[in-house]
Amino acid sequence: MPEIIKNLFKASGIFKCHHPMHRPFEYKVSPYHILKVKNCYPQGCVEFKWRCYNFEKGKKCPRNFKHVGRECFSCNKYHENKETYSPETTMSSKELKRFIEDYHVFESWCDEMRGKRVRFSGQVKSIRPHLRMEIDSRRNRVSLNGYFASFDKGYLENDLFNDKIYLRLSKNILERTKLADGDEIEADVLFTEDRGRFILRQPRGIDIDKNNSKPQITVSSSLIARSTGKIIDGAIKHCHGCKFCALIDIEDLSRKRISYYRRFYCLKGVSDNENCPVRLEGIMDDYKNNRNDRKRF
């Protein structure tokens, strides 16, 4: 019998944590991060934050470092702050217990699916470049690693995966198929999971039903975005649904332990979402349209 599957790794409304790293996501934290990566509920976690007296006073590093990192330990300007954080939940103990039981069942399903080839079908929601950033003490490097077609839902064989899922596309596949938002696609894919995000890889036997929309992402525009794009500061509530907003995977080598996380990345190079020209232009267009509608009456 066909099943309806939700991604419990990324279930919303379960946990919140006020660690500064979660600020861009309005302190909403996935069950995957809390229960698997940090395993910090309910005991919390302790972090020793690396600090620099020079940076705190607005001064430059004499060794031209941009971040506090491993190479700073011997410097007399280096110090640490001990910080403690505890995740919160709005659920009752009974509700949370039931969720965690369902979570472990879902985790077992993922273990069985991981690495399998399956037939997938769905409608493309958006296509974005897959960007990676490497951070060390001196600089940040951004690389382009193919493309992601995202789906709000899709079928894995006969089962409905009723949640966000991604299909990784190479440069050659994107140029050959000219896949665009709204297209229906069916293909044999390799099912994989990356830190709670489900990514379908190595598509074969691709069948596309075009909806006559034009591709919004091209190889040339992605290369420009790689060079000029910026991580978005602050809350990203204004950026949801924007065609220039993408996720970037970050590998932070400047920490005591290598850290992996994601941030929202503006392909237009706008870091201040409050004053984003794309958003402000949309507001002005809405204002003009509403004023014209009032004139008709």
Model pLDDT for residues 8-57, shown as the tens digit of each residue = 999 999 999 988 888 878 889 999 999 999 999 989 988 888 899 999 99
Model pLDDT for residues 123-149, shown as the tens digit of each residue = 999 999 999 998 876 778 888 999 999
Last residue of a domain, one of 33, 64, 85: 85
Token pair 């994601």 in the structure block, residue: 262
Domain membership flag for residue 39: no
Cβ–Cβ < 8 Å for 16, 28 = yes
Confidence of residue 6 (pLDDT cuts 50, 70, 90): very high
Residue 284: which residues within 8 A CB-CB, separation 6 or more?
none
Rounded Cα distance between 256 and 282, Å, is 43
Share of the chain above pLDDT 70, in %: 92
Residue that wins the pLDDT comparison between 250 and 219: 250
User: Is residue 121 domain-shared with residue 76, that is, in the same domain?
Assistant: no
User: Is residue 126 domain-shared with residue 245, that is, in the same domain?
Assistant: yes
User: Is residue 71 domain-shared with residue 179, that is, in the same domain?
Assistant: no
pLDDT at 184: 96
User: Is residue 187 domain-shared with residue 78, that is, in the same domain?
Assistant: no
Q: Total structural domains in the chain?
A: 2
Structural domain range at position 55: 50-85
| Bridge partners, residue 4, by sequence | 160
Cβ–Cβ < 8 Å for 132, 260 = no
Last residue of a domain, one of 33, 62, 85: 85
Domain membership flag for residue 108: no
User: Is residue 230 domain-shared with residue 127, that is, in the same domain?
Assistant: yes
Domain membership flag for residue 22: no
User: Is residue 143 domain-shared with residue 271, that is, in the same domain?
Assistant: yes
User: Is residue 151 domain-shared with residue 194, that is, in the same domain?
Assistant: yes
Rounded to 5 degrees, what are φ and ψ at 47? Answer: -130, 135
User: Is residue 179 domain-shared with residue 275, that is, in the same domain?
Assistant: yes
Cβ–Cβ < 8 Å for 51, 91 = no
Q: Distance between alpha carbon 47 and the CA centroid of its chain, in Å?
A: 23
Confidence of residue 161 (pLDDT cuts 50, 70, 90): very high
Residue 68 predicted with pLDDT over 80: yes
pLDDT at 165: 97
Mean pLDDT of 264-289: 73
User: Is residue 159 domain-shared with residue 297, that is, in the same domain?
Assistant: yes
Domain membership flag for residue 111: no
User: Is residue 66 domain-shared with residue 156, that is, in the same domain?
Assistant: no
- 85-101 in b/e form (b: 16+ CB < 10 A) is bebebeeeeeebeebbe
User: Is residue 283 domain-shared with residue 198, that is, in the same domain?
Assistant: yes
User: Is residue 139 domain-shared with residue 76, that is, in the same domain?
Assistant: no
Domain membership flag for residue 91: no
